Structure 1
Amino acid sequence: MNLHLLVPALFWPDPALPEIYRDLPLPGLENLLAKCSVTKDKSEGIEAWLCRAFGAAKQQDWPVAPITLQTDRAEDGEAATTENNRWLRADPVHLRLERDHILLADSHVFRISSEEAKQFTDLLNRHFAGNQGISFSPLRPDRWYLRLLEPPLPHTHLLSEVVNRDIRNKLPFGANNTFWRSLTNEIQMLLHEHPLNQMREARGELAINSVWFWGGGTLPESLVSPYTNVWSNDVLAVSLASACNIDHAPLPVDATMWETSARTGRHLVVLDELQGRAQYRDAYGWRESIKEMERRWFDPLWRMFRRGHFDEITFTAPDESSSKSFTATRSDSRKFWRRPKPILIYGK
């Protein structure tokens, strides 16, 4: 059996805070990484990594929207027909002006109900009715879709690339740049005046005052999976597995439960709970999450590896500065001279 773990933000992204690793016992993870050979690539978001892994070629963007639409529409009871249609994700966000920055917050830090999403998008659809075929679909409270007949799709940045960052230099660009800036401004004015946002702010909740356009394109004609099974709660990973007609299941609670269900083959397990903590620089939350991940996943996997359970095990850890992959084969478990090092060393 081969196991590939995709673990975004496995290492803390801020090198100026090495003390985050102090008194952080991770023997299972450190022992596993010690047996691995490592390669380092340029940084890319988890969405880009998944698209590339499953053969979804980049269009003007990585075509996340038409791929995840298949899953969201199917779960919503709609026919998942996206062929020849151009789709963008238009996810609800909160923008905050901070000194000379405009920072973006996503649904990691706010809640939005299905009814709120429907009321927001109903307003937008009424306003833009008949305007160049613009139509918003809130198939999930925090995942909205824009179907576009014209103009050409813009180049955008992945949502994961802009969370908790200044967005001024990351707005849509390319063909019809003026149209997209104007559309965004108009949406922001409409949302700002919506009574729902006044009610949200009165309750101490963040206003939904903008959308983030990203992941546009058409449905790829063919996808190829390097895996036989995918275990994930991430909608893009699930959608890619479904499009490739391979087995997929929600992420089990821990590696022991996963082991009881996994059979021979090539398995992708997506452990993405650290990502939001790292994006929002929640140091305490990140430490607590990785300690729990050690208990539920890394330590049991280390014991499975020592028993010869895997032909090959790989960790891929994309972050804001690079993407590192650590790979070990069954024979590497016997290389006693590869001694564990503190996780800080691997994160450099």
Structure 2
Amino acid sequence: MHLLIPYAASPEEGCQATLPSLQLPHLQKLLTRLSPEPLDAGDAFSLSPPHERALAKALALPASDGLIPWAAQQAQQHPALTKLTGAWAFLTLCNWQAHMKEVTLRQLPMQDLPSTESDALLQAMQPFFAEDGLTLYPFEPGCWLVHGAALATLPTASPERIHGRDLTPWMPRGAQASGLMRLLSEMQMLLYTHPVNDAREARGALPVNAFWLHGTGVLPPGFGTPSAPEAPTLVNALRDAALCGDWSTWSRAWVALDAEHGHALLQAHKRGEAITLSLCGERHAQTWHSQPQSLMQKVNGFLRPQPIQNMLKQL
């Protein structure tokens, strides 16, 4: 049983001020009985957030920054695409807003985008991507799969990294990104005059004026075989409040999460089940396992338990 918790903490001032009063009795007790792995250290500008890195490692996926092959994993599960090997990406349609000194996202993914509009945009954009050896496949309205060799080594930022931030530092870099940036400029011109956007603006919906590429990379050989590890339980109860900086709501969600999932994990440990816990913040991820502890570890855990609030501050 593996419990993976994204947005367990943040270096933001509001979160740090909330942590000292945060009471998580079940996970606090559990951590005194588990053994930690080495810290998975990143920084606030890592393209892949800590919870994505932790999930990738648990699934035996490559975890290189910006090259976790989430799109390739999804394509492998798509009946019509399973025979297509190689590199994949997600392309998510979105709305960018230009300010005096920065460009930010107003919507990602797009709201009120029916499949008919998504399909019409895919058909219009496909020929331009084909010129660069890239093929678009529908996945969800407003989110497509892209297949092509150029995506194998192109690091891209997770959409969660760009939420509420200036996009400039997160844009793909280097020579391998030049084709993508040209495509982006061409698509912005195409979208500006596309009938889909005329219809959207007529009904008061935001126009589609850009896209974000993410989840790039290639699956390792043999991925998805029957011996593949079981997926962790990903609990996203803290995500929305953390992304909005609403730390009082985040704190209440943490208490509820501990009461439900923390309690269940503690009971599983008491039954002798093998358990794993991953707490992921803005920069780092820390994972603990149930494994035999030395007498000294048990004594220290009982007499000098490290407050979970201190652990969370380090994430």
* TMscore range, shorter length: 0.7 to 0.9
1:51 and 2:15 matched: no
Equivalent residue, structure 2, for 1:29: 27
Equivalent residue, structure 1, for 2:82: 80
Equivalent residue, structure 2, for 1:326: 288
Deviations 1:34-72 (A, max 9, x none): 44444422125233333334443468833222222122x
Corresponding letter in the other structure for 1:318:
C
Inter-partner Cα distance in structure 1 for 2:40 and 2:153? 28
Gaps of 5+ in 1: 224-242, 249-265
Quote the offset at 1:184 in angstroms. 0.9
Output the TM-score relative to the length of structure 2: 0.77
Deviations 1:288-324 (A, max 9, x none): 432332232112323443xx22444332122222122
Show the 5 A alignment for 1:201-240.
Answer: 205-223=205-223
Quote the offset at 1:328 in angstroms. 4.3
**Higher strand share goes to which structure?**
1
Equivalent residue, structure 1, for 2:225: 244
Residue identity (%): 22
For residue 346 of structure 1, the aligned residue among 306, 311, 315 is 311
Equivalent residue, structure 1, for 2:76: 70
Equivalent residue, structure 1, for 2:256: 292
Q: Which moved more, 1:25-34 or 1:323-332?
A: 323-332
How many residues are paired up?
301
Quote the offset at 1:152 in angstroms. 7.7
1:277 and 2:276 matched: no
Contact 1:191 1:208 in 2 (8 A): yes
Output the TM-score relative to the length of structure 1: 0.71
Quote the offset at 1:130 in angstroms. 5.2
1:42 and 2:41 matched: yes
Corresponding letter in the other structure for 1:337:
L
SS in 2 for 1:324: strand
Gaps of 5+ in 2: 43-47
Shift in alpha-carbon separation, 1:280–1:204, aligned structure 2, 3 A: farther
Shift in alpha-carbon separation, 1:290–1:107, aligned structure 2, 3 A: farther
Contact 2:110 2:142 in 1 (8 A): no
Inter-partner Cα distance in structure 1 for 2:151 and 2:8? 39
Q: Which moved more, 1:29-38 or 1:159-168?
A: 29-38
Shift in alpha-carbon separation, 1:188–1:29, aligned structure 2, 3 A: farther
Quote the offset at 1:139 in angstroms. 0.9
Inter-partner Cα distance in structure 2 for 1:141 and 1:338? 53
Inter-partner Cα distance in structure 2 for 1:16 and 1:97? 28
Equivalent residue, structure 2, for 1:7: 5
Root-mean-square deviation (Å): 3.5
Inter-partner Cα distance in structure 2 for 1:14 and 1:153? 32
